[in-house]
Structure 1
Amino acid sequence: MNFLIALDQAATVEPALVGLVARDLAGTTPGFVLNTKVYHTAPHGEITPDVEAEIAQAYAQLAVEKVDLIASPAFAGTAPAEAATAFARFSAIQGIDKIVLAAERCWQSATSEAARKLYRDHAINPDDVQIAVVIIPSRG
């Protein structure tokens, strides 16, 4: 897999690839992470067909109907304590089309009002923030 990292491996890779949430969840639940490289290479913030195919394969391997998607920000330097709550989270998403849309919305949350407030309050350059997306079996 080029664009995904198994969640149980998230603690063993560069934090900048998987972000805060993925590192916190590593080893606690099955799932995978759409890494931050995709965030910066996606044209117009849209998931490309090759990335979608990889997500579809990983989703099928999870063998669950519904998943939760959580934006997992990666910061240059130390992240503020409230950083993870400033970005998007979607619960009980079913089907690859909806998963792709939710992942794109996780990326879009990097420019949300909550994210912009976090950047202002902590003097963070938004260009230094990268977004990975954690995809785990839904708990709801």
Structure 2
Amino acid sequence: MNNDLSWMLDSALEIPGALHAVLISADGLLMARTKEIGKDDADRVAAGMSGVQSLSRSLAFFCNGSQQQWRQTLVEFDGGWVFLISAGQGAYLGVSASPDVDMADITFRMQQLVGQLGKALMAPPRESLGARP
């Protein structure tokens, strides 16, 4: 887990009704999580969301042609919602929320967070200035 990104996910939980947030790679690996969800559960969520995103992309043709770009998947359960959006090249942001969450607020916050995460994910790795190979 990337602890440097986990703190950024906490801003998604500032929306009333938001429960958990995870950042996952396209291949279903957990990249970061909020502290309210355990690592084992977050790993399961990451794998599942990767599959959901893949299935969602395969349905693009159903929405007026096969050249449609996937943007978001929303799943409703009796106990709440799961939102899944692209978070940059090869990464996805997933947020769970209670049934009474303001959907406009949570999706807006997620888009803001994706902008911040995108900058962090695109930043070049730090070089160790004192170490020599």
User: Into which bin does the TM-score normalised by the smaller protein fall?
Assistant: 0.3 to 0.5
Which is greater in Rg? 2
Give the structure with the larger helix fraction. 1
Q: Which has the higher contact order (CA 8 A, sep 6+)?
A: 1
* Length-normalised TM-score, structure 2: 0.38
